A and B are shown apart, each in its own frame.
Chain A
Amino acid sequence: MSDLADLTLAEASRGLRAREFTSVELLEAVHRRAAMTEANLHAYLTLDRDGAARAAVAADSAFKAGTDLGPLQGVPVALKDNMVTRGLETTCSSKILSGYEPPYDGTAVSRLRDGGAVIMGKTNLDEFAMGSSTENSAYGPTRNPWDPDRVPGGSSGGSAAAVAAGSAMVAYGSDTGGSIRQPAAMCGIVGLKPTYGLVSRYGLIAFASSLDQIGPLTRRVEDAVAALEVVGGHDPADSTSYPGPVPDYRSGLESGVSGLRVGVVTELNGEGIEPAVQEAVDRTIARLEAAGATIVPVSLPSLEYALSAYYLIAPAECSANLARFDGVRYGLRRLGENVEEMMSNTRAEGFGPEVTRRILLGTYALSAGYYDAFYGQAQRVRTLIIRDFQAAYEQADVLVSPTSPTTAFPVGERTADPLSMYLSDVCTIPSNMSGDPAISVPVGLDGAGLPIGFQVMAPALGEPVMVRVAAEVERLAGFDARARFASSEVQ
């Protein structure tokens, strides 16, 4: 590979340790790529050139001193702009946080810094992570590196586009209803949503607290595993953080799928899935079977209601989570006759239409008289979904489906119809509802040359078996997007 910006994390990590190149050189290559691609893609909201340069120099001296801080040492990493970074503008793509410089680092960010990562900057997202296309950004949309007329998916669209285009080696995003996996699928890269609680949410600006989870977007499954290890593990600052030791994800990566039971979820395959996507998924399932896996059809009947339940639970939680943006302590303020008017004017002006819509939905779903029929019922449906998953994992070690029903759709196609946009998360939402891990792996292109993602789901803390299957899917697909990055015409 001639351009350092096209290396996988594993390759970069090896090269840095072998002193084939320095972190400063790696950063320069990635910055050169960003300089070429940003005008078209707009993956980044903020590029922290000075901070990144300092971190790269520090990583190089650490290498020189023989210090090894882990797989991300010296590696250029991009962060979704809903991850709080001390002194570095953090906006959530919202006007309401324009200019906000947090006085602290979130836990994942601290762990990245402690691990010697070179934080490049903050990537674009749908405002407050609400959306599936990265079009709902107050600072303008991100484009898909495979076709700039198409969306990169969302809400971690900036992170996905940066990794796909080579303007970051690794990126982190957050996944509340598919926001890591769906853009990863649409951009032809790997996106991993860990088990709820595996990565601390402290310092992740909340969208829906019981669903949000931070995870990596990378070019390879093994890279996602390495990137997860750096940020994962118990954090006493997050009460919902998983208290036990982090399992060993790596050891199974080469083990193949022989003897594993792969469940094909009836409700997430076939109906409503674009034919090209379903074909690629079926082909992958056939290859898994040929590689020794047992394929079992499984049915999770309550998944039919997952999307509906999600669009009650997520807005309800967001309506409370976003109440703190009121013009009192930070961010935007619009004047008003009294404090109530000031708050109402600030919020109406500061939040974009999608965020406003979800706040209204959530406020209604929680309000007196409707709670039980909407929010309460959605929570009971959530229980049934979890039970369905538990029953399915009696029959199968992992479950599979397309990541997204379609490949990347044209910019502007769904913005006027919220429901059609919401439907693009139908395959990813169930794992958020259950809190289980799921990963998207690219398995090929459709007729228009757009990437297709294959989703592998596993039970809670089932990351080891999930990445084992994902790594095999990756090998079997033989899909190497770097051909695309290297010859990118997006520039």
Chain B
Amino acid sequence: MMAYEPVIGIETHVELTTASKMFCGCPVDFGAPPNTNVCPVCLGLPGALPVVNGTAVEYAMTIGLALNCDIAAHSVFARKNYFYPDMPKNYQISQFDEPLCVDGHLDIDTGDGPVPVGITRVHMEEDTGKSTHIGEGGRIHAATHSLIDFNRAGVPLMEIVSEPDIRSAEQARAFVTELREVVLRLGVSDAKLEEGSMRFDGNISLRPEGTEAFGTKVEIKNMNSIRSLQRALNHEIERQTALLEAGEAVVQETRHWNEETGTTSGMRSKEESFDYRYFPEPDLVPVAVDDEWRERVTARLPELPAQAYGRYLDMGLDGPVAAVISRDVEYGSVFEAAVAAGGTPQMVANWLTGEVTALLRRTESTLAESAINGTALAELSSMVADGTLSASAAKDVLAGVAAGEGTPDEVAASRDLIQVSDSAALEPIVDEVLAANAEAVEKLRAGDGKVVGFLIGQVMRATGGKADPGAVSEIIRSRAG
């Protein structure tokens, strides 16, 4: 049987967190009472004209630069014509043949090393209003009528179009996760999938493995989480594979993802719905970006995950650990603070990705919510390194620090967890344990080294976990020898 390779491209829409809308001064403000954030411009009233929000252009440039795009010296807005009741002008002001950012890439890593995903373009446009469908459980299909709120109409929207460089649903997941992290890092969007401030559509086709030509592609819409994107793509891979294996053709169409059934279905579409009659927006003038402006925006770019990753590798971190810390803003900042406070990078990183992560998962909290900070982590890891704390005691100390009980020093003292490695203090305890476990001592003397662990455990129990296992082991061996 022939094996098929999926060819996937993703279109991502991101709402910007500017103060005002793309073409008018209405606030960008999720959750305002319906139809209050509206003016003649964003309501499409007769006679109103758009004016471009300069900050939105800078935000778009920021995204483009972060995605390694070329910033066009000259870009233009166009009208994309189609009728939809929540789109006030019945055309969307968007960019068409001359977008602001082109030809970039974003690297993703699903474990087999970095894979570059091409970014075709990043362009600016405006969002639509919001329709609520009334009747039959709010489903569009059976609705009797719809109610429209235009608050969201005109919110700045960036469309990020990838090249069809993605080869699996897993890579697609990695791509949007990485993209979301980039956008968050840039501070240009809150990228909340549940509120629709980040949304994506997928294009997918299959081709026989080893071939170059593209198969017939299908567009999938209505995926409102990263998980549903992955599920929808996997479903579509299965569906298209089955079609091809049965010798049937894939129909080029737009399909709608249904979260409940876990399937996609074809949408009723007419031939003219693709005839958008784009033409240059005569109400707006072109955007011209000179070197000076581009450089100014470039200089303000924060460090991006990929750059942080490279820097962490240079600091000596292992790849997987560096990957985790570089992709999470909070982890990154705690890590940087810990290193600045004198922590050994690899050790601090191990704590963050190991024990700290496990603790947060157990307590269902986030790093920001916990009292763990860089200084505490540096202190904790050095207490382990110099033997002040045993590995197990350190976990308790960490829990105490996270709960706000104080610095690691204070928690270790108050919980009485300072490790005992002083042989003068340990010898009497070891002797007591050996005396109580004659049988084990016998085995040890007969050359059965496995019982050492058991005996150490007994000492640890007797000391409430404070004994230094290394020191105890040495005493045991010297006594038994």
Chain A residues lying within 8 Å of B277, measured Cβ to Cβ, are 319-320, 363, 366-368, 371
| Complex Cα–Cα for A239 and B57 (A) | 15
Instruction: For the complex formed, measure the closest distance between the CB of B147 and the CB atoms of chain A, giving whole angstroms.
Output: 11
Instruction: For the complex formed, measure the closest distance between the CB of B445 and the CB atoms of chain A, giving whole angstroms.
Output: 91
List A306-333 residues whose CB lies under 8 Å from chain B.
Answer: 316-317, 319-320, 323-326, 328-330
A239–B89 contact, CB under 8 A?
no
B46–A375 contact, CB under 8 A?
no
With contacts A104-B40, A366-B277, A371-B279 taken as known, whether A326 is within 8 angstroms of B49 at the C-beta atoms is: no
| Complex Cα–Cα for A213 and B49 (A) | 14
Residue ID in chain A nearest B81 by CB atoms = A320
Instruction: For the complex formed, measure the closest distance between the CB of B258 and the CB atoms of chain A, giving whole angstroms.
Output: 22
With contacts A343-B83, A363-B277, A371-B279 taken as known, whether A104 is within 8 angstroms of B45 at the C-beta atoms is: yes
Instruction: For the complex formed, measure the closest distance between the CB of A92 and the CB atoms of chain B, giving whole angstroms.
Output: 7
List A345-368 residues whose CB lies under 8 Å from chain B.
Answer: 363, 366-368
Chain B residues lying within 8 Å of A106, measured Cβ to Cβ, are 47
**Which residues on A are within 8 Å of B, measured CB to CB?**
82-84, 90, 92, 97, 100, 102-104, 106, 201-206, 208-210, 236-240, 316-317, 319-320, 323-326, 328-330, 339-340, 343, 363, 366-368, 371, 375
Sample of 8 A–B contacts (CB below 8 Å): A84-B45, A208-B282, A317-B282, A319-B277, A325-B46, A326-B83, A339-B146, A343-B85
Q: Name the one of A319, A323, A329 contacting B43, with C-beta atoms under 8 angstroms.
A: A329
| Complex Cα–Cα for A368 and B283 (A) | 22
| Complex Cα–Cα for A210 and B285 (A) | 11
Instruction: For the complex formed, measure the closest distance between the CB of B81 and the CB atoms of chain A, giving whole angstroms.
Output: 6
B50 contacts the other chain (Cβ, under 8 Å)?
yes
With contacts A324-B88, A324-B89, A330-B45 taken as known, whether A375 is within 8 angstroms of B279 at the C-beta atoms is: yes
B47–A103 contact, CB under 8 A?
no
List B215-272 residues whose CB lies under 8 Å from chain A.
Answer: none
Shortest 4 CB-CB contacts between residues of A and residues of B: A323-B90, A366-B277, A209-B282, A210-B282
A90–B46 contact, CB under 8 A?
yes
**B interface residues, how many (CB within 8 angstroms):** 30
0/1 string, B32-60, CB within 8 A of A gives 1: 00000000100111111111100000000
| Complex Cα–Cα for A413 and B43 (A) | 40
Chain B residues lying within 8 Å of A208, measured Cβ to Cβ, are 282
Instruction: For the complex formed, measure the closest distance between the CB of A326 and the CB atoms of chain B, giving whole angstroms.
Output: 6
**Which residues on B are within 8 Å of A, measured CB to CB?**
40, 43-52, 79, 81, 83, 85, 88-91, 146, 148, 274-275, 277-279, 282-285
Instruction: For the complex formed, measure the closest distance between the CB of A124 and the CB atoms of chain B, giving whole angstroms.
Output: 17
A240–B279 contact, CB under 8 A?
no
Chain B residues lying within 8 Å of A100, measured Cβ to Cβ, are 46
With contacts A239-B49, A239-B51, A339-B85 taken as known, whether A324 is within 8 angstroms of B44 at the C-beta atoms is: yes
Instruction: For the complex formed, measure the closest distance between the CB of A24 and the CB atoms of chain B, giving whole angstroms.
Output: 30
**Residue from the set A92, A206, A371 with the largest chain B CB neighbour count within 10 Å:** A206
Residue ID in chain A nearest B25 by CB atoms = A237
A240–B47 contact, CB under 8 A?
no
B46–A205 contact, CB under 8 A?
yes
Given A324-B46, A340-B83, A371-B277, 11 more pairs with CB closer than 8 A: A102-B46, A102-B47, A103-B40, A104-B45, A204-B47, A205-B46, A237-B49, A320-B79, A326-B83, A328-B85, A329-B45
Residue ID in chain A nearest B84 by CB atoms = A339
Chain B residues lying within 8 Å of A375, measured Cβ to Cβ, are 279
| Complex Cα–Cα for A371 and B81 (A) | 14
A239–B81 contact, CB under 8 A?
no
Chain A residues lying within 8 Å of B148, measured Cβ to Cβ, are 328
Chain A residues lying within 8 Å of B46, measured Cβ to Cβ, are 84, 90, 92, 97, 100, 102, 205-206, 324-325, 330
Instruction: For the complex formed, measure the closest distance between the CB of A283 and the CB atoms of chain B, giving whole angstroms.
Output: 39
With contacts A103-B40, A323-B90, A363-B277 taken as known, whether A239 is within 8 angstroms of B47 at the C-beta atoms is: no
Chain A residues lying within 8 Å of B43, measured Cβ to Cβ, are 329
| Complex Cα–Cα for A329 and B274 (A) | 25
Chain A residues lying within 8 Å of B52, measured Cβ to Cβ, are 239
| Complex Cα–Cα for A329 and B42 (A) | 12
| Complex Cα–Cα for A328 and B43 (A) | 11
| Complex Cα–Cα for A336 and B282 (A) | 32
Chain B residues lying within 8 Å of A84, measured Cβ to Cβ, are 45-47
Instruction: For the complex formed, measure the closest distance between the CB of B77 and the CB atoms of chain A, giving whole angstroms.
Output: 10
Instruction: For the complex formed, measure the closest distance between the CB of A146 and the CB atoms of chain B, giving whole angstroms.
Output: 32
**Residue from the set A97, A204, A323 with the largest chain B CB neighbour count within 10 Å:** A323
B40–A206 contact, CB under 8 A?
no
Q: Name the one of A83, A102, A323 contacting B91, with C-beta atoms under 8 angstroms.
A: A323
Instruction: For the complex formed, measure the closest distance between the CB of B273 and the CB atoms of chain A, giving whole angstroms.
Output: 11
